[in-house]
Amino acid sequence: MSTKTYHIAQIAELLGCPKAPYFQQDSSISWLGYDSRKIGDAKATLFFALQGRRNGHDYLAEAYKKGVRHFVVSEDRPYGDLFPEANFLLVPDTLMALQKLAAYHRSQFHYPVVAITGSNGKTVVKEWLYELLSPDYSIVRSPKSYNSQLGVALSLWAMNESANLAIIEAGISQAGEMQALQTMIKPSIGILTNIGTAHDAGFDSVEQKVQEKLSLFTNVSTLIYSPKYLHGQQISQQAEKSCSWGEQGSEDLAIINYAQTTNGYTTIKARYNGKEISITAPFTDAASLENVVCCWATLLALGYDHRTIAQRVASLSAISMRLELKNGINSCSIIDDSYSNDISSLEIALDFLSQQQQHQAKVLILSDMPIQGMEDVLTYQRVAELVNRQRLSLFVGIGEQLSRYRHLFAGKTAFYPSTASFLASGLSFQHSTILLKGARSYSFERISKTLSAQMHDTVLEINLNALENNLNQYRMILPEGVKLMAMVKAFSYGSGSFEIANVLQFNKVDYLTVAYADEGIALRRAGITLPIMVMNAGIQNMEMLLRYDLEPEIYNLHELQALSRAIIASNVEGVSHAVHIKLDTGMHRLGFMEDELEALIKLLHQMPHVKVKSVFSHLVASGDSSQDDYTRKQIALFKDMASRIKASLPYEIWMHIANTSAISRFPEANFDMVRLGIGLYGVSADETQPIALSTVATLKTKITQIKHIPAGDTIGYNRHGRLKGNGSGMTATVKIGYADGYNRRLGNGHCYMLIGGQAAYTVGDICMDMCMLDITGLPNISEGDEVIIMGEKPHVNELAKAIGTIPYEVLTGISPRVKRVYYYE
């Protein structure tokens, strides 16, 4: 979004496109689109057909259908015939064209632009600087961690006349990428957070990585960096001003020491301009303290006085860039994004709200945008534009500014001057999805607390970005045209029901599969419209299947006859119902054997109202290379059996047999569709597979009590727990037990949990609701500390191995009493 608009003809000229007579020459463009699912104000959108994982040119029709009339493309197709009333700007490279436009837009503003790069901490430093500088500047900043080639361009597009400072994050993963970012951002102030020594795949050496990152700062007038991260490289450009920081003693801001005070604060003492100065920050971990120092150096370089800096730093708080989806009271779903509020992140949150299908009613509770004075009108017109095109059942505005601009908002609205007055109003919600989007100072966490169902210390956090990443990883290796069925049986392998299905539906998978009819019905009731296959429908449930448009797996003749009877009884003339025929090629669980095919085909011929959508089978050991001969035999038998059925029916029938491990190991068995299960949830049974999966589920809890154990004492039931050497030591009691799905066999040191990154092994028998960890000798552990039970580390594969089972059982064994929280970063 930009408050500055450009005519399409002007953009065409800028992008070097021939001066064609443009359709609606003077159409104003204020939005840049690149995802056909996320089109807002279609008329004012310029859509870029980007070539990435998917080819944006394949989505032009969808964008056109939504009303977009201005496109930038790189493939010369006969657009005029397909989309008569639209403009097509043909360029060699659509991403470069987008960057060119962003660079031009950026050049229209003459206020300072801060660029931040580094291996870690970019987003935190950006958000903290935003907080620290907000009292004095009206700031545009990158939303979330939009720091890629595309993200930077979109961030710059948000620059507008009402701001007087921009803070932009820049991230690269390969040599050669920074040049394009530098050309776009043209920063006047540069900040290097840090540079890790880890060997990135995209660079030949650490030195090359440093050089590349530093190239962002060509021509900056002020530079903030730490010499320790230059790895011997020289800062070559002549910044007029710089402020270096670090612990070596020779820096401009030379840290003398860090002293932890009570209650989680740390006082940092340093020498600056020959004087000793200090600040106290509400953090204790090394990463946060480094980011604080980086901000401190920046404020000093900007000329702030010590007192102001000390005051503002003391009230910083941990950054949560997360948007969380959790259960609310009165059957509501709460989307909690109560940390920040600006137009870009509001757009992202509204996109997520529009994905949610589980309730008809959608409510947005929004606070004022944190801006100072200038040009409020423009900002609130934008906000209202975004809000009005959502079909909300209620819009709640909190703050004096929103109240003042209430006339801009259409539909049912309510306004309150403050968070307190909203809470006092007693307004209540039922069966609604509620998005909470509030700036820091509005303390929306208080609203979140009243609307959310009670939270427990033990939660399973589900990272929806990671789930999408895994889906895309598999899509990338699938040949075009192969469909994807996502297995969401057993509560999506323990991770959730409609919450997962919404994401999959939004990402356009082709099919969902559940194990039982009731799982499918739950998804339909939550608004999921994708086709759904039910593996074990049950003869007694056939009518329900029809009513909820669920497609059964048919594995014997009785089932087929029951379905046929139900279709006839439902009496809908001429409408057929889709089924999926399961063939037994060696699993010997469910399905037709070879010698039963003839009878099946005969019966199908008598049932024109039953439509065979697909035939499929299941592999028994697709991840086990020692069984590859058997797998190939199954595939061959499947081809044989499937083609007999296909040959006997006069319409198209899909074939599928591949589960997760077969997708990468047996590409010849992809056929028309694959069934992706555990890989979607970030786990692979195939250790040689080339796919980079991300961890989706993290199981967390907290320490309830810490104990000193005298030498010789035992810990827990049956006196099985003893500390090393039977000596004295310390234990931590944590809130997870076998009733939560933490297997009892993980006790007595068979597995560990992570506390502040340190491994603490179980000691003694696992109890029903709790267990004990040996924390003897581990520093800095307090009651209330967070404990990672399972996640990136310890990985679900480690837990499975420790008790001789498979990751599938561990994941699906996490009890429903453990609350699930879904988030996007």
Ligand X SMILES: *Cc1c(COP(=O)(O)O)cnc(C)c1O
Which residues carry out catalysis?
A: 489, 717
Region from 83-91, 627-635, 671-679, 778-786 binding ligand X, contact rule CB under 6 A: 671-679
Region from 144-152, 396-404, 643-651, 676-684 binding ligand X, contact rule CB under 6 A: 676-684
User: Alpha-carbon distance 34 to 819, whole Å?
Assistant: 35
Q: Is residue 660 close enough to count as binding ligand X by CB under 6 A?
A: yes
Q: Is residue 678 close enough to count as binding ligand X by CB under 6 A?
A: yes
User: Alpha-carbon distance 370 to 134, whole Å?
Assistant: 8
User: Alpha-carbon distance 643 to 395, whole Å?
Assistant: 56
Q: Which is nearer to ligand X, 466 or 734 (CB)?
A: 466
Q: Is residue 659 close enough to count as binding ligand X by CB under 6 A?
A: yes
The residues, any chain, with a CB within 8 Å of residue 362's CB and separated by 6 or more, are 353, 356, 390, 391, 392, 393, 432, 433, 434, 435
> Residues 618, 700, 722, 735: which binds ligand X (CB under 6 A)?
618
Region from 93-101, 151-159, 675-683, 758-766 binding ligand X, contact rule CB under 6 A: 675-683
CA atoms within 13 A on the CB side of 255: 22
Assess contact for 306 and 320: CB atoms under 8 A: no
Please give the DSSP secondary-structure letter assigned to residue 43. G
> Residues 487, 534, 763, 771: which binds ligand X (CB under 6 A)?
487
Region from 276-284, 462-470, 626-634, 670-678 binding ligand X, contact rule CB under 6 A: 670-678
* Smallest distance from ligand X to CB 699, Å: 19
Region from 121-129, 164-172, 254-262, 674-682 binding ligand X, contact rule CB under 6 A: 674-682
User: Alpha-carbon distance 233 to 235, whole Å?
Assistant: 7
Please give the DSSP secondary-structure letter assigned to residue 541. G
Q: Is residue 36 close enough to count as binding ligand X by CB under 6 A?
A: no
Q: Which is nearer to ligand X, 354 or 470 (CB)?
A: 470
- Binding-residue total with ligand X (CB under 6 A): 10
Q: Which is nearer to ligand X, 370 or 807 (CB)?
A: 807
User: Alpha-carbon distance 430 to 434, whole Å?
Assistant: 10
Residues of this chain, 305-344, that bind ligand X according to CB under 6 A = none
The residues, any chain, with a CB within 8 Å of residue 574's CB and separated by 6 or more, are none
Q: Is residue 675 close enough to count as binding ligand X by CB under 6 A?
A: yes
Q: Which is nearer to ligand X, 175 or 587 (CB)?
A: 587
* Smallest distance from ligand X to CB 53, Å: 21
* Smallest distance from ligand X to CB 458, Å: 25
User: Alpha-carbon distance 471 to 679, whole Å?
Assistant: 8
DSSP 666-709: -GGG-TTEEEE-GGGGT--S-TT--------EEEEEEEEEEEEE
* Smallest distance from ligand X to CB 678, Å: 4
The residues, any chain, with a CB within 8 Å of residue 534's CB and separated by 6 or more, are 513, 514, 515, 516, 517, 519, 520, 545, 550, 551, 552, 553
* Smallest distance from ligand X to CB 92, Å: 41
* Smallest distance from ligand X to CB 810, Å: 13
Assess contact for 504 and 486: CB atoms under 8 A: yes
Q: Which is nearer to ligand X, 679 or 747 (CB)?
A: 679
- Reference 741, options 818, 820, 804; nearest CA is 818
* Smallest distance from ligand X to CB 618, Å: 4
Q: Which is nearer to ligand X, 618 or 702 (CB)?
A: 618
Q: Is residue 716 close enough to count as binding ligand X by CB under 6 A?
A: no
Q: Is residue 580 close enough to count as binding ligand X by CB under 6 A?
A: no
Give the β-pairing of 6-7 and 758-763: unpaired
Q: Which is nearer to ligand X, 299 or 662 (CB)?
A: 662
* Smallest distance from ligand X to CB 669, Å: 12
Q: Which is nearer to ligand X, 386 or 678 (CB)?
A: 678
Q: Is residue 677 close enough to count as binding ligand X by CB under 6 A?
A: yes
Q: Which is nearer to ligand X, 187 or 677 (CB)?
A: 677
Assess contact for 335 and 345: CB atoms under 8 A: no
To 10 degrees, what angle do helices 343-355 and 376-388 make? Answer: 10
* Smallest distance from ligand X to CB 579, Å: 15
User: Alpha-carbon distance 389 to 38, whole Å?
Assistant: 12
Instruction: Tell me the β-bridge partners of 820.
Output: 460
Collapsed DSSP state (helix, strand, coil) of residue 629 = helix
Q: Is residue 613 close enough to count as binding ligand X by CB under 6 A?
A: no
Contact residues toward ligand X (CB under 6 A) are: 487, 489, 618, 659-660, 675-679
